[in-house]
Amino acid sequence: MPIFAQHDISKVDPAPPNSVIATPLPEEQRRMLRKYDIPDLAGAQQALGSQLIDGHLPRPKIDFITRDGGIEQRVSLFEGGLVVINMTGAGTIFKRVIIPPDALAAYAKAASAASLRSVDQSMLAPPEADRRSQLRVYEDGGGGKYVERVFHPGRVLPKALVDAIAPLRDLVRAISEDRQVTTSLAGYEPQEGDELVADDHNVYRVARVMNDTVVQLKCLTAPTTIYIDKKDLSQFFIGKHAPQE
């Protein structure tokens, strides 16, 4: 092999003590894992309304943002269990959910200010313009004080930092893929004349609701009529409500 094509240990970044490295799964295995239930949203509910606490916006607890090329992902956790994710790139996803207190405590324990403070910023690979991650953890007790680390997401990271961001990455994936909790039909009660849009872009009109459990949908874009359990309407998006008389 030519000299420039050889790859030896001198061309590999040294791994700091107590570090771990992640290897992505092949796409086939990734597809297999998607069929399993994601426990991160157990007991969660969609966040509706302003979510004010005693008339004030909830205080931030954790903020994690990562940019890889043209894709940016951000997850923010607030007191009261409010979680907000914002993903931009090929498309845009913006969702808000309320997670149970024990779940919020688990994320706060994994990404605590004390554990993040133990990570030496000078030991982290500096970020690049299009590959950048930032983890900010706010101190308990308010006051706006926080601990922050900025790093390159594609390099070897200390174990303490991996332990902090791994659950947050899983949470982003869970919320972004979820269609049961974070749906435009949360709390929706179907009415005759409502129009719903399916994943295949077909439009259905609610023809009638039977026994308050089964909904008859008539497709407006194909000669099809289907009957569906009301709880399964989460697989649709609201097109428009029936006009009010």
DSSP letters along 10-51, please? GGSPPPPTTEE---PPPHHHHHHHTTS--GGGTT-EE--S--
Choose between 65 and 3: higher pLDDT.
Answer: 65
pLDDT confidence tier of residue 131, bands split at 50, 70 and 90:
very high
Per-residue pLDDT tens digits for 79-129:
999 998 888 876 677 788 889 999 999 999 999 999 999 999 999 999 998
The predicted pLDDT at position 36 comes to 35
Measured CA to CA in angstroms, residue 76 lies from 7, 46, 172 at distances of 40, 15, 10
The predicted pLDDT at position 176 comes to 79
Residues 6+ apart with CB under 8 A from 110: 163, 164, 166, 167
DSSP symbols for 165-178: HHHHHHHHHHHHH-
Homologous superfamily (CATH) for 16-177: Mago nashi (3.30.1560.10)
The predicted pLDDT at position 32 comes to 44
E strand intervals along the chain: 19-20, 45-46, 60-68, 71-78, 82-88, 93-98, 131-138, 146-151, 157-158, 195-197, 203-210, 214-219, 225-229, 237-240
Report the length, in residues, of the chain.
Answer: 245
Check: pTM over 0.75? Answer yes or no: no
Nearest Cα residue to 132 out of 67, 69, 72: 67
Answer whether residue 9 shows pLDDT above 70.
no
Per-residue pLDDT tens digits for 137-184:
999 876 789 999 999 999 999 999 999 999 999 898 888 777 666 655
Inter-residue contact 151 to 10 (CB < 8 Å): no
Domain residue ranges in the chain? 16-177, 195-240
